[in-house]
Structure formats: structure tokens, C-alpha cells
């Protein structure tokens, strides 16, 4: 979480920490209920955008490729594409929550099918 909100984000360190189990590091909530993705949304430092794009690639796009229905993958890809259209923190955080919810919902439906 500290790295996600850093004034000088270190992309190499971020990749190293999240490389093995990105879900473990990016979705763990701290004492205030925020995840590393929420802090990345809040961070406006140079370099933070590349960290956020990398995190979304790891957590959403790679997992969505495993979904069987093309329609579900398309919905998630559209949500990710629309993610950067507004730079307001609360909107980014809400979009992260929405994208995460959809992905988890689709994954659960696929398991039950």
C-alpha cells in the first residue's frame, strides 16, 4: 500500500512484489478498508499511471481471458477502456470496485455452469 501511494513510484519493485500472486497484494485491505488499487487511483505522482495500468493488466485483463463467454470478456474490456476517461479519485475507485465485482461474479458463474 505504501508503494502504491508513493511520491516516487518504483515500477520495478512493484512488478517484483506483485509478480507471483498479484491478487494477494493488490486486493488485501488495510485497516481503513482500502486496497493497493485504491491507493494507485489516488496517486497522481509521475509514474503512478503506469503502475495502475500494470495492476489492471494483472488483475483484470489476464483473468478475463480465462472466461469462456466472449460477451463477458467484452464487457470487462469495455469497462477497463472507459476507466481512464475520468481522473477523479472517487470515480476511479468506484470503477475499480465495479470491475472487480463483475470479474468475480463472472468467475463464480462460470464455476457453477
Q: What pLDDT, in 10s, does the model give residues 25-51?
A: 777 788 888 887 788 888 777 777 778
Can you tell me the distance from the alpha carbon of 109 to that of 76, in angstroms, rounded to the nearest whole number? 15
Residue of 2, 81, 97, 94 whose CA lies nearest to 40: 2
Q: Tell whether the model's pLDDT for residue 111 goes beyond 70.
A: yes
| CA-to-CA dists, residue 55 to 14, 23, 68, angstroms | 9, 9, 22
Q: Which residue has the cell 509521475?
A: 46
Q: Which residue did the predictor score with more confidence, 8 or 102?
A: 102
Write out pLDDT tens, residues 78-96. 888 777 665 555 577 788 8
pLDDT > 70 fraction of the chain, expressed in percent and rounded: 83
DSSP single-letter state for residue 32: T
User: CB–CB of 106/76 below 8 Å?
Assistant: yes
Amino acid at each position: 500500500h505504501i508503494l502504491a501511494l508513493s511520491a516516487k513510484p518504483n515500477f520495478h519493485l512493484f512488478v517484483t512484489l506483485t509478480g507471483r500472486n498479484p491478487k494477494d497484494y493488490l486486493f488485501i485491505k488495510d485497516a481503513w478498508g482500502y486496497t493497493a488499487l485504491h491507493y494507485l487511483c489516488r496517486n497522481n505522482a509521475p509514474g503512478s499511471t503506469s503502475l495502475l495500468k500494470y495492476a489492471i493488466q494483472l488483475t483484470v485483463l489476464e483473468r478475463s481471458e480465462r472466461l469462456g463467454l466472449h460477451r463477458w470478456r467484452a464487457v470487462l474490456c469495455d469497462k477497463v477502456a472507459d476507466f481512464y476517461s475520468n481522473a477523479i479519485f472517487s470515480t476511479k475507485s468506484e470503477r475499480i470496485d465495479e470491475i472487480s465485482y463483475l470479474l468475480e461474479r463472472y468467475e463464480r458463474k462460470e464455476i457453477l455452469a
